[in-house]
Each structure stands twice: as C-alpha cells, then as structure tokens.
Amino acid sequence: MMKATINEHHFEIDFEDKQFQKGRINNQSFDLDMIKSDDDSWHILKNGKSYNIEIIKIDQAEKRVALKVNGKTANVKLTDRFDELLKSLGMDNMASKKVLELKAPMPGLVLNIVVKEGDSISKGDALLVLEAMKMENNIKSPTDGIIKKIHAVKGNAVEKNQLLISFQ
C-alpha cells in the first residue's frame, strides 16, 4: 500500500498489478488506461474520465512530484510501508539532517576542483571531478551550504571515504 498526499488531500492506494493500472484508492476500485504522450506527459482514462498529466518536477529524495493535471498544478507526496516503518521507529527525519562533510564515494584521482572555500553552493551543484576506472565523475553537493574547507588537492589520489570537502 502507498499513501499519497495531493494538495493536502490524503489517499491510500493499493495497486493490484505491476503496471499500476488497477487497484483501489480509499477502498474504491479504479482501472486506468494510460498512453504516454512524450517523456513527461500521459493521457489517462480513469473509470471512463479523461486526464492529461504532465510531470513538472520530481524530487526523488523527498518523494515529491509536481504535476499538471488537466492544466491545474498538483503537488504529490508519496509514502510507502518503509516510510511508515521509519516513522514508527522515529527515524523518519534522519535524511533531513545537515550534511557537514563530503567523502570520496570511490578511490580515484582528483582531476579538478570547481569550488573554492567560502563559496555558497546548492544541493546538486558540481564540486569536483574525480577520475575512477578511467571515467570522469562529477561529484555534486549533497546539501545547500557554504564551503568551509577543501581537503582534496587537485592531482592527488584519494581513497574511498576520504574527506574531500567540509561544509558549514
């Protein structure tokens, strides 16, 4: 079972198939016919009613999706049984804690450092380029913040889990 909050309205969804086309929403049966229009758009028939749906933005970490449904914006928050379990154990907000360090995800060679100490960065910004197994990997920021200290040195090799950058 999944739970969806759509613009502050709560729904419990049970899917009966792996294509997510049959199931129950708040104990009422549904049957979907879906046609993909393009990469981010679908035309859906739900119990005979037509919907045009466009994905505006997906935040996988927060399990949030912004959609346009027949021209109106809908903000969707999804949770599943694992989210409910984490919540019951008091571990539901652990992912939102401030990240203070970036460590090397793999051993490699620091090819380039894109930021400098004192720079203000946003989650997803490129921080440095790490070469591993003959591939260049852009290492991105896991958080919003300010670069406190750069521990990595351009041209130096690093080991897995070695501290690269500290944030404040």
The mean pLDDT of 157-167, rounded to a whole number, is 95
Averaged pLDDT of the chain: 90
Phi, then psi, of 26 in degrees rounded to 5? 50, 50
Give the tokens for residue 167.
Answer: 């944030």
**In this predicted model, what pLDDT tens digit does every residue of 66-114 receive, in sequence order?**
999 999 999 999 988 888 787 787 766 555 557 899 999 999 999 999 9
Three-state DSSP class for residue 19: coil
Q: What average pLDDT does this structure show over 1-9?
A: 90
Say what the pLDDT of residue 115 is. 96
DSSP 8-state class, residue 96: G
The predicted pLDDT at position 93 comes to 58
What b-and-e string marks burial along 128-161, b requiring 16 or more CB atoms within 10 Å of the CB?
Answer: bbbeeeeeeeebebebebebeebebeeeeebeee
Contacts of 97 (CB under 8 A, 6+ apart): none
What pLDDT shows up at residue 60? 80
Q: How many CA atoms lie within 13 A of 157 on its CB side?
A: 5
What's the gap between Cα 5 and its chain centre? 17
- Give the pLDDT confidence score for residue 91 in this predicted structure: 64
Domains with residue ranges and CATH for the chain = 2-94 (2.40.128), 101-167 (2.40.50.100)
pLDDT of residue 30 exceeding 80, the answer is yes
- Check residue 70 and give its pLDDT: 96
Name the pTM for this structure.
0.51
